[in-house]
Amino acid sequence: MTFGEQPAYLRVAGDLRKKIVNGSLPPHTRLPSQARIREEYGVSDTVALEARKVLMAEGLVEGRSGSGTYVRERPVPRPIARSGYRPAGGATPFRQEQADGEVRGTWESSSEQAEASGAVAERLDIRAGDRVMCTKYVFREAGEAMMLSTSWEPLAVTGRTPVMLPEEGPLGGMGVVERMAAIDVVVDNVTEEVGARPGLAEELQALGGVPGHVVLVVQRTYYASGRPVETADVVIPADRYRVAYHLPVK
């Protein structure tokens, strides 16, 4: 069926895309079902399916099983404030947000001991294989996952103290800075390195995204007197959020 131009599924996807961006198919409307696409464009089931997949990978539409394929709202990515640490009310990234009065969030977490991998060991300035407490978080906003985080703390710092488990005890969920303060470790510095890459299927499934979507990855490390005491990888869907810093000059 081709005579020198682009594949059929790209042609169909392109036509539907045009209707979406020019407003002829506004957000929340259903686009033609696979069967109707097949008829309207005179293509096979596979082509119709593949065309829908292209638009889904671009984040323009979202398939709801049993219901239809719907045009997504294209949110302007919202900034997530990360300008250092704010003492008021706690210190997880979420608590920062809540202090801004902009986000109402919840989170789940699970911790387990592990041995530091080479990369983590380097970031924590310990030896690979040293014991660390590894905690995985899922942060939700209005019930929707918006951020994944994996943190590592050297057990050489927190081991055999009340704050060994980040989310348990009286200081559970209070954030790194307070928890460390409780064991007389004064956190005074933090570095954040922001990168980006295509999200892994596993991550995007948790974040409600689609394979191929871009995620921001923040590698954050807290320091006390020059020694790293916690490091974390924060994974954020880039189509919905930006990472915002506010810095003084000079």
Partner DNA sequence: TCGAATTTGTGCGTATGTATC
Partner DNA sequence: GGATACATACGCACAAATTCG
Interacting residues with a second copy (CB under 8 A): 10, 13-14, 17, 53-54, 57-59, 77, 79, 83-85, 87, 177, 187-202, 211-212, 214-216, 219, 222, 238-239, 241-250
Position 41, amino acid? Y
> What is the signed CA dihedral for 167, 171, 175, 176, rounded to 10 degrees?
-100
Considering the complex, what minimum distance in angstroms separates the CB of residue 181 from DNA?
45
Instruction: Count Cα neighbours of 142 within 13 Å in the Cβ-side half-sphere.
Output: 2
* Closer residue to a second copy (CB): 142 or 247: 247
Asked if residue 35 binds DNA (CB under 7 A), the reply is: yes
* Torsion angles phi and psi, residue 45, rounded to 5: -55, -45
Q: Which does 249 bind (CB under 5 to 8 A by kind): DNA, a second copy, none?
A: a second copy
The partner in contact with residue 142, picked from a second copy, DNA, none with C-beta cut-offs of 5 to 8 angstroms by kind, is none
**Dist. CA 215–CA 34, nearest whole Å:** 29
Contact between 95 and 114 under an 8 Å Cβ cutoff? The reply is no
202 contributes a contact to DNA by CB under 7 A: no
| 2-21 binders of DNA (CB under 7 A) | 2, 7-10
Among positions 56-95, residues that touch DNA (CB under 7 A) are 56, 63-69
Measured in whole angstroms, the distance separating CA 204 from the mean position of its chain's CA atoms is: 8
Query: Which CB, 111 or 117, lies closer to a second copy?
Result: 117
User: Interhelix angle for 8-21 vs 34-41, to 10°?
Assistant: 110
The verdict on 1 binding DNA (CB under 7 A) reads: yes
Minimum distance, C-beta of residue 137 to DNA, in the bound complex (Å): 26
Q: How far is the CB of 134 from DNA (least distance, A)?
A: 29
Among candidates 164, 134, 168, 166, which has minimal Cα distance to 151?
134
- 54 makes contact, choosing from a second copy, DNA, none, with CB < 5 to 8 Å by partner type, with a second copy
Q: Which of 21, 24, 39, 46 binds DNA (CB under 7 A)?
A: 46
Figure out which of the listed residues 29, 49, 90, 138 binds DNA, where binding follows CB under 7 A: 49
- 3-class DSSP state for residue 106? strand
Q: How many residues does the chain have?
A: 250
Instruction: Decide whether 52 or 179 has the Cβ nearer to DNA.
Output: 52
CB 81 within 8 A of CB 103: no
Instruction: Classify strands 227-237 and 214-224 as parallel, antiparallel or unpaired.
Output: antiparallel
